[in-house]
Amino acid sequence: MNCQLTIDKEPFSFQIEGDFFWGIDQVLFNPSSSVIMNTSWKKDGYALFDLLTVEEFNRIQENISSLLKSIALEIGIDLPDHFSPEKYHLYFNTQELHNQVIQKTRFLTFKDFKIDFQQLCTRVSDFIKYPLQLENPLLDEEIVILRISRPKSLDINPLHRDGYLDIWANVLNLWIPLAGCDENSSLPVFPESHLLNETKVYRSETKGARINGLGYHVPGIVDVKGGLDLIRPNPAYRQALLFTPFLIHGAAINQNENKTRLSLELRFCKKGI
Ligand SMILES: [Fe+2]
């Protein structure tokens, strides 16, 4: 079916395959136990936060460049020494090559980065006034996803709430821009959508939605009564977009002509669950 939405008031649509249904009468977000319950932005569901020092940001960028260089080597692509991740699409220039990359970048872990994630977790905990931890007891290891979205492509995931999956119901989501992130490519979110009753949400089951032949783990949302109106908060480099896992987000269409967008997605967990 066709998913129709607006991003910063501009209409978009894309095809999404799956079986979809309206939800039952419940609001999944719990305002008295959510990790954002002590924030001034609990109604919006998201906020921007100055997360990284210049040094940390540079180190993550070096990590990503060397990761892409080693993947390129494995799959037989010759990258120049001055390779800039924004130019990714010029080298990984077929769907097959791109698929090979995302198989390897979808499931990174904290250990793949030379960063003290515990320090980042403490900073975020202090900001939201709620104790968080790196370890998610429902997972062997929490994953860090490197999202790579080529210009004018359908390298997007469906709109979704991470919180539909029990493993991510008690986390705080972080979306960190790395390269090619701007008002044309940044992650869209649907403000206040964590407060929406499920009867207003038309969605698939887990693993039930496909875009461009690619399946996604989380249930995909294709419609909401009243319309799917998203905005791009567009965090600056070194900032993170923080949001409750029940906020509807995704469909991060990259409208730039010649810039690949790279971003990191990670989650910190409610302490002591
Ligand atoms: Fe997500």
pLDDT of residue 107: 81
Q: How far is the CA of 239 from the centre of ligand 1 (A)?
A: 18
Task: Please indicate, yes or no, if residue 124 is contained in any of the structural domains.
Answer: yes
Q: How many domains does the chain have?
A: 1
pLDDT of residue 31: 95
pLDDT of residue 178: 97
Q: How far is the CA of 51 from the centre of ligand 1 (A)?
A: 19
Q: How far is the CA of 245 from the centre of ligand 1 (A)?
A: 7
Q: How far is the CA of 66 from the centre of ligand 1 (A)?
A: 25
Q: How far is the CA of 86 from the centre of ligand 1 (A)?
A: 22
Task: Please indicate, yes or no, if residue 256 is contained in any of the structural domains.
Answer: yes
Q: How far is the CA of 78 from the centre of ligand 1 (A)?
A: 32
Task: Please indicate, yes or no, if residue 102 is contained in any of the structural domains.
Answer: no
Residues of the chain with pLDDT under 50: none
Task: Please indicate, yes or no, if residue 69 is contained in any of the structural domains.
Answer: no
pLDDT of residue 144: 93
Give the residue numbers spanning the domain of 228. 2-51+108-270
pLDDT of residue 106: 81
Task: Please indicate, yes or no, if residue 98 is contained in any of the structural domains.
Answer: no
Main-chain phi, psi angles of 59, to 5 degrees: -65, -40
Task: Please indicate, yes or no, if residue 202 is contained in any of the structural domains.
Answer: yes
In angstroms, how far is CA 256 from the centroid of its own chain?
18
pLDDT (tens digit per residue) in 172-184:
999 999 999 999 9
pLDDT of residue 183: 97
Q: How far is the CA of 174 from the centre of ligand 1 (A)?
A: 9
pTM score of the predicted model: 0.95
Q: How far is the CA of 179 from the centre of ligand 1 (A)?
A: 19
Task: Please indicate, yes or no, if residue 207 is contained in any of the structural domains.
Answer: yes
Q: How far is the CA of 249 from the centre of ligand 1 (A)?
A: 6
pLDDT of residue 273: 77
Task: Please indicate, yes or no, if residue 24 is contained in any of the structural domains.
Answer: yes
pLDDT (tens digit per residue) in 124-166:
999 999 999 999 999 988 889 999 999 988 888 899 999 999 9
CATH number of the domain that residue 178 is part of: 2.60.120
